[in-house]
Amino acid sequence: MIAEGKETRQFGENHYVLEHSLTAYVGLVKAWKAEKSGNLIYRRMARNFNPMCAMAGKITVAEVEEIVEVGELDPDHIHTPGIFVQRLVLNTHPEKRIEQCIVRAKRE
């Protein structure tokens, strides 16, 4: 029933239903550093999904902590090329939303 009216293909012994990909109108990402040309470098966990989100949007807006001149970033460290980024927003002091609740004092 799922395959009705949709293209299917067989690879080996398995049959697959082909679907159109989802495309976002705006992709919002948070990066650590950016060149003025839009090349982005992420830190830590931001590297997991932000590169894919940047590539999925028709327009990608990147919030960055630092913007540097073109050529200052090592090309081997770029996570998202500037071709995918249309806008940069500088936020030098981003709010860190990760909290650590302490309900009792640590035992010594």
Residue 98 has pLDDT above 70, yes or no: no
Percent of the chain with pLDDT over 70: 92
For the chain, what is the mean pLDDT?
88
Per DSSP, the three-state class of 47 is helix
**Total Cβ atoms within 10 A of residue 5:** 4
CB 40 within 8 A of CB 34: yes
Task: Find, among 3, 87, 8, 4, the residue nearest to 40 by Cα.
Answer: 87
Cα separation, 20 vs 23, in Å, equals 9
**Residue ranges covered by each domain of the chain:** 24-90
The whole-number average pLDDT for the span 17-33 is 88
The whole-model pTM stands at: 0.69
Residue 9 has pLDDT above 90, yes or no: yes
The whole-number average pLDDT for the span 80-88 is 95
**Total Cβ atoms within 10 A of residue 21:** 5
In the chain, % helix, strand, coil (3-state, to 5) comes to: 15, 35, 50
The 10s digit of each residue's pLDDT in 12-24 is 999 999 988 777 8
The whole-number average pLDDT for the span 3-18 is 91
